[in-house]
Structure 1
Amino acid sequence: MSDDVGNIAGLAARVRAASHLTGTFLLRSGRTSSEYFDKYLFEADPALLAAVVDGLTGLVPPGADVLAGLELGGVPLATLLSQRTGLPTRFVRKKAKEYGTRRIAEGGEVTGRRVVLVEDVVTSGGAVLDATRVLREQGAVVEDVVCVIDRSEGGRERLAELGLTLHPLLTRADLDAAAG
């Protein structure tokens, strides 16, 4: 296990150094931001990704049956988290593919299973809400979401409205404190 897991400040500093960008960025929510946390930058670094997944491992609620990584950033996180926890994983597309199996959730059934969603960054929670609705329509029990970064911009509250509990590894406050 990484030393960073017991040291959220150290992990926040590493994630911020690897992924914090400034400029003008259009977010999925439609809002514009002057800063952006590029999850692909921390997910592409094997040592940092390992430290992040070590931290996420402790956030998976007891009783979970399946992890579900959201396309695209949640997929590598869910895959490694699956390896660490022994829980099977599913891969949730933004929309069902139009050929082959035409599934939105790949990797096996979710019906009757307690599914924990795995996401990289939560801002407004829109992608998580979309995935939750689809998985629940397929009979999954979805109550928990683990993420690397909660940008603290209303996502937690929006998720709670749909009965979801957000378990972030790092919050905006952690990342801001790491800025020095």
Structure 2
Amino acid sequence: MHSKIQDLVKEMIKFGLIKISPQNPFKYASGKEGPIYCDNRLMSSDPKMWALAIELLSETINNKNLKYDFITGVATAGISHAAALAFHRSEPMNYVRSKPKSHGTGKIVEGKVGENSKLLLVEDLVNQGSSIEKVIRLIRDQGHVVDSVLCLVDYQTPNAKKVAKELEIDIFSLINLNQLADICLSEDIINKEGHQLLMRWQQDPDNWQV
């Protein structure tokens, strides 16, 4: 693993962006429970950590040779990261709304965007993939092109992988759940039982229980 990725994960855990508690799970908005909670909105409150994340996102774009017309933040959590990344790379940025405007042109993308523009979606977290599925379908309905999503954290759940396959997109992340689990185990944040619980949740979040 990239040493800077390890440094970033440790800082995210230290700063409270990532919380892992397999034996005492979190309740999600869906009503289901899970062993991990990630709030990357907090990242911008630590400029040094945020700068490292943006640097690594930019490296990912270069290493994967991603091609696009605009860096596009997914509202709301992805907007700040997209803006910082676009500024870092001196490239144009816009953002995609969670639903089309109910007035005017009914557009989904805010900011300058031409017809058939290719958008690189920037998200903070990919969990089950439902959010990106919704916005990608809306974007494509308005004639724009999306084939890649760039995110800080990807849990790599079966549902998200299914969405990616159905939409024929690639999801690129700085950090995945396997890396998080391994680092937390090595840092004694969780024990072997906790590591196994995390992996079980990843494989079947809908039916997971302690």
Band the TM-score falls in, shorter-chain normalisation: 0.7 to 0.9
Q: Describe the shift of the 1:83–1:6 C-alpha distance in structure 2 as closer, same or farther (beyond 3 A).
A: farther
Return the structure number with greater strand share.
Answer: 1
How far, CA to CA, are the matches of 1:44 and 1:103 in structure 2? 31
Q: CA deviation at 1:55?
A: 0.7
Q: Is the 8 A contact 1:156 1:165 kept in 2?
A: no
- Tell me the residue number matched to 2:27: 25
How far, CA to CA, are the matches of 1:81 and 1:16 in structure 2? 22
| Partner AA of 2:42 in structure 1 | L
How far, CA to CA, are the matches of 2:33 and 2:105 in structure 1? 36
How far, CA to CA, are the matches of 1:89 and 1:178 in structure 2? 33
Does the residue aligned with 1:132 lie in a helix, a strand or coil?
helix
Instruction: Output one character per residue of 1:141-174: Cα deviation in whole Å (capped at 9) or x when no partner.
Output: 1000000000122323421221010010111122
- Decide which structure has the larger Cα Rg and report it: 2
How far, CA to CA, are the matches of 1:176 and 1:32 in structure 2? 17
Q: CA deviation at 1:99?
A: 4.6
> Unpaired runs of 5+ in structure 2?
188-210
**Which residue, out of 78, 85, 90, partners 2:89?**
85
Q: Is the 8 A contact 1:16 1:175 kept in 2?
A: no
Does 1:140 pair with 2:144? yes
Q: CA deviation at 1:14?
A: 1.4
Does 1:126 pair with 2:123? no
Does 1:172 pair with 2:169? no
Cα RMSD over matched residues? 2.0
TM-score (norm 2): 0.75
- Tell me the residue number matched to 1:36: 37
TM-score (norm 1): 0.87
